[in-house]
Amino acid sequence: MFVAKDLETPSATEPAASVRRTEACAAGVLADLIETPLAPGLYLVATPIGNLADITLRAISILSRADAVYCEDTRHSAKLLQHYAIAARTRPLHEHNEDREIERVLGEVEAGKRIAVISDAGTPLLSDPGFRLVRAAASRGIDIFSIPGPSAALAALTSSGVPTDSFFFAGFLPAKEGARRTRLAELARIPGSLVLFEAPHRLGEALQDMADVLGNRPAVIARELTKLHETLSRGPLLTLADAFTREPVKGEVVIVIGAGEPKTVTDDEVEARFRELLSDMSLKDAAKAVAGELDIPKARAYALGLKAKDQLS
> Burial letters for 11-22: b for 16+ Cβ neighbours within 10 Å, e otherwise?
eeeeeeeeeeee
What distance in Å separates the CA atoms of residue 276 and residue 3, rounded to the nearest whole number? 39
Q: Is residue 235 classed exposed, middle or buried when 0-12, 13-18 and 19+ CB atoms within 10 A define those classes?
A: middle
152 in contact with ligand SAM (CB under 6 A): yes
133: amino acid identity, one letter: L
Determine which residue in the list 219, 224, 239, 278 makes contact with ligand SAM, applying CB under 6 A.
224
Under the criterion CB under 6 A, does residue 222 sit at the interface with ligand SAM? Answer: yes
By beta-carbon distance, which residue lies closest to ligand SAM? 122
- Name which of 227 and 275 has its Cβ closer to ligand SAM: 227
Does 167 sit near ligand SAM (CB under 6 A)? no
Question: What residues have CB less than 8 Å from 240, skipping those under 6 apart?
Answer: 207, 219, 221, 233
Q: How many CB atoms within 10 Å of residue 147?
A: 22
- Give the closest residue to 90 by CA, choosing from 115, 55, 57: 115
Contact range with ligand SAM by CB under 6 A, out of 2-10, 85-93, 178-186, 251-259: 251-259
181 lines the binding site for ligand SAM (CB under 6 A): no
Closest alpha carbon to 197 in 225, 227, 161: 225
Binding mask 22-61 for ligand SAM (x = CB under 6 A): ---------------------------xx-----------
For position 252 contacting ligand SAM by CB under 6 A, the verdict is: yes
| Residue 157 touching ligand SAM (CB under 6 A) | no
CB of 245 to ligand SAM, least distance (A): 18
Residues that bind ligand SAM (CB under 6 A): 49-50, 119, 121-123, 126-128, 151-153, 197-198, 222-227, 252-254
